[in-house]
């Protein structure tokens, strides 16, 4: 039935191409920490990128296996599980930011920069309303 369908953007492509597109965008975002893409692709990518950071915070072998299904490069998986859990130790969600970047000259598509938030370098648990013993 229509109401039980999972809501996702189709981008005018078939399922396998869409899946590959999201995998490649996720891999490049984690490798470069910010990428320029269309606004709709950035909004769809945010779901997958945030999910990868949550997996990296778990750090279990099963989480590594699930991340390898989405990320196409082993070095990027290593970077994800090495750097991101420390960076987002006190943050539970909202790891990415989307900034609008104008319009593409060829077809006028809305462009956006999607990037990982870097504000946790100076943050402490008390900034998030947490006490040290709650962690």
Q: At 118, is the pLDDT very low, low, confident or very high (cuts 50, 70, 90)?
A: confident
pTM here is 0.81
**Region 80-90 average pLDDT:** 93
Q: In terms of C-beta distances under 8 Å and separation of at least 24 residues, what long-range contacts does 78-82 make, across chains too?
A: 79/30, 79/31, 80/30, 80/52, 80/53, 80/55, 80/56, 81/56
Chain segment 29-63, per-residue pLDDT in tens = 999 999 999 999 999 999 999 999 999 999 999 99
């Amino acid at each position: 039935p229509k109401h039980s369908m999972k809501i996702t953007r189709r981008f005018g492509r078939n399922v396998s191409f869409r899946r590959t597109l999201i995998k490649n965008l996720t891999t490049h975002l984690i490798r470069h920490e910010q990428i320029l893409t269309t606004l709709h692709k950035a909004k769809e990518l945010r779901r997958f990128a945030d999910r990868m950071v949550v997996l990296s915070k778990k750090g279990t072998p099963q989480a590594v296996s699930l991340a390898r299904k989405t990320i196409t490069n082993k070095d990027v998986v290593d970077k994800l599980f090495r750097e991101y859990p420390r960076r987002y130790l006190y943050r539970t969600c909202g790891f990415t930011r989307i900034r609008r970047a104008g319009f593409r000259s060829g077809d006028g598509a809305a462009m956006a920069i999607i990037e990982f938030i870097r504000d946790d370098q100076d943050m402490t648990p008390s900034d998030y309303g947490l006490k040290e013993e709650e962690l």
